[in-house]
A and B are shown apart, each in its own frame.
Chain A
Amino acid sequence: MPVDEGLKSELQKRGVFVMPVEFLYNWSRKSSLWPVQFGLACCAIEMIAAAAARHDIARFGAEVFRASPRQADLMIVSGTVTKKMAPQVVRLYNQMPEPKYVIAMGACAISGGPFKDGYDVLKGVDRYIPVDIHIPGCPPRPEALLHALMTLQEKISKQHLNETRWYDKNAPAEYPIPQYGAHDLEPPVNRELWQPPQETPKK
């Protein structure tokens, strides 16, 4: 419900702030995104650099890297997801409480990157878990990670309470964990989540 700007500013001078509950809800969530503390490859080094003094991810309220997925809101998939590691990554995601978000950091987490021809490399983590933000780069600089974090904050601030996944009864509570097969992971891709992209229209 829109509030009259004049009334709003008049109330603000007297120490009364008028805003929708949704704004407060989103603002509080986006201002303390705690990531899970895990790294998979060299992108994790950049993630660590983003947390260190020069780049200081604490400015965005995301400096508390939790060693337990139960206490985390954000999963930064930083590096190559091997097929041997993929079930553990999906399990970690399942163990995080809602609301939860995923950043796929770097070329490997997006698509397998330079290792996508490898028999043991997962061709993108979005084959098993829903990804909110993709960061290109090999590895992305800490600035890129910070930009992804700000993009995610923007995304969160636009969420509506009645449209969120965790209030949707039909949304899956957890995603199926792939099993180790004789030649590949079983299933090789979660088809409900990931479909091969169709041809992009020509410009």
Chain B
Amino acid sequence: MPTVEQIREMLSAGAAKSSLLVEREDLLAVAKFLKTDPQLQFDFCSCVTAVDYIKQDCIEVVYHLYSVALKHGPVALKVRAPRALEQCHVPSLTPVWRGCEFQEREAFDLFGVKFDGHPDLRRILMWDEFVDHPMRKDYIPPMDYEWEPTPHGETLARAKMQGGTVPASALEAKK
């Protein structure tokens, strides 16, 4: 873990294209430091997103920070949480950057990351009754197969499972 001075030096000297991977417990403190430090002044969070690292069994939440005042950035602030839904918690940065609210809701909706301290954590794109998190790599989409005149690949496999909607010629051609 680098010291505060090292972070300050790294970010303000290189000024951009840097990334910081921090522990969940430190995230809020680091975010407040990045925003308030006079040499850094990252006053704008432009993007909140998540990445599903299914092999490492973790979900990474990424915040892209810019400084409008000092005209530098972006810095990617990253934090990792376990994939299991009940443990997938990350502190919310909405209290620090107000603009994170909707994007954190989106990350919650699509990746199932729970942001502790978020003022209004609801689904934003899918409906409230929906239970899955579609951008996770182990998500299984619904079987609403659309008929095609020449199904192939995955569509053909799904059509076979549905049954009765595949032209016989397409199945024969596959053999």
Contact = CB atoms under 8 A, between A and B. Distances in A.
B134 A181 contact: no
Most buried by A among B134, B144, B165, B168: B144
A98 interface: no
A188 interface: yes
Contacts of A184: 142, 144
Given A119-B141, A120-B134, A181-B129, 10 more contacts: A111-B146, A119-B134, A119-B139, A120-B126, A123-B146, A182-B130, A184-B142, A188-B144, A189-B144, A196-B147
Contacts of B169: 199, 202
Given A196-B164, A199-B167, A199-B168, A180 B142 contact: no
Interface in A165-183: 180-183
A136 interface: no
B165 A188 contact: no
Interface in B56-98: none
Nearest to A112: B146
Contacts of A188: 142, 144
Contacts of A181: 129-130
23 contacts: A83-B127, A84-B125, A111-B146, A112-B146, A119-B139, A119-B141, A119-B142, A120-B125, A120-B126, A123-B146, A180-B129, A181-B130, A182-B129, A182-B130, A182-B132, A183-B130, A183-B131, A183-B142, A188-B144, A196-B147, A199-B167, A199-B169, A200-B149
Interface residues of B, number: 21
A197 B149 CA distance: 9
B130 to A, nearest CB: 7
B138 interface: no
Contacts of A83: 127
Nearest to A197: B147
Nearest to B142: A184
B1 to A, nearest CB: 40
A182 B164 CA distance: 25
Contact of B165 (A84, A116, A120, A196): A196
Interface string B154-174: 000000000011011100000
A142 interface: no
A12 to B, nearest CB: 51
A200 B169 CA distance: 10
B128 interface: yes
Given A84-B127, A182-B129, A199-B167, A124 B146 contact: yes
Contacts of B139: 119
5 cross-chain pairs, A with B, having the tightest CB-CB distances, nearest first: A199-B167, A184-B142, A196-B165, A123-B146, A180-B127
Nearest to B165: A196
Contacts of A183: 130-132, 142
